Amino acid sequence: MQKVVVQRVPRFGGAALFHFEYWTALFLLGDPMRYISRGSGMVMALLVLGVSVASAQYPQTRKGFWIGFGVGYGSYGISCSSCSGLGRESSFTGHLRLGGTVSPHLLLGAESIAWTKSENGATVTAGNLSLAADYYPQPAGGLFLSAGVGFSRAEASQGGSSAGNTGPGFTIGGGYDVRVSANTSVTPIANFVWGHPDSGFSHNFFQFGVGVTFH
C-alpha cells in the first residue's frame, strides 16, 4: 500500500500510511470548472424553485420543536503543510438540523453537514457537527442567516482500512423557508463549512442544497 501511495503521488513518499492528508491527496486532483458549472446550476434551480413556490400563501410561524434534512452538492478542498497544487473536488452533500424556537427571530439547535465521495476504491467523508443558530431578520419572512461552531471530522477508507481525525470547525450560511403547508417548508440552503481536524491540515467545502423543514 505504501508503494502505491508513492507511485501515484511521488511528493508524498515517506508519508505515514494512515495520515489523512495523504489519503485525500490520492484522488483530489481538482476540477474547478466542473464545480462552478454544477454549483451555478444548483443555485439557479433553487432560485427557480423558490420563485415558483413562493406564491403559496402560508404564514411564516415558528414555535416549539423543528427539524429539517436534505441533500445537495458541494466542492471540497484541503490545505496541509506537506501538499500543494491540489484543486477542489465536487460531490454529494447531506444535512440534518433540529432544535427549538427561542423567538420568531431566533432558532437554536444542532446541525450536521457532510460531504462524501468514492473513487478508485477509496471513500473520503468530511463534515461538521455544530451547535447552530438561525436568525430571521423579518419574523414574517422566510430568509434566515445561519452560523454554527463545533467539531469537524475528516475520514478516509480503502480496502477495509480507514483513518480519520476530529478537531474544531465552524459553519456559516443561510437559506429560505418556502412554506408549502402550515407546518412544512421547502428550504434551499447555501453553506460554507470549515474544519481543522488534524495538526497541519484543514479542509472546507461549499454546500448548495435543498431540504424539507418541519416546524
Per-residue pLDDT of the chain (215 residues; tens, 9 = 90+): 333 333 333 333 333 444 566 566 655 544 544 544 555 555 556 555 554 555 456 888 898 999 999 999 999 988 877 776 677 888 999 999 999 999 999 999 999 999 999 887 888 899 999 999 999 999 989 999 999 999 999 988 877 777 888 999 999 999 999 898 889 999 999 999 999 998 888 999 999 999 999 98
> Sign of torsion, CA 32 200 81 119?
negative
Place of cell 410561524: 61
pLDDT at 48: 53
Looking at residue 25, its pLDDT comes to: 63
Q: How many CB atoms lie within 10 A of CB 207?
A: 28
Question: Which pLDDT score, from 0 to 100, does residue 27 have?
Answer: 56
Cell digits of residue 116: 462524501
Which stretches of the chain are assigned E, i.e. beta strand? Answer: 65-80, 89-103, 106-119, 122-135, 143-158, 161-176, 178-181, 184-198, 201-214
State the pLDDT at residue 4. 33
Return the pLDDT at 22.
Answer: 58
* Residue 28, pLDDT score: 59
Specify the pTM: 0.79
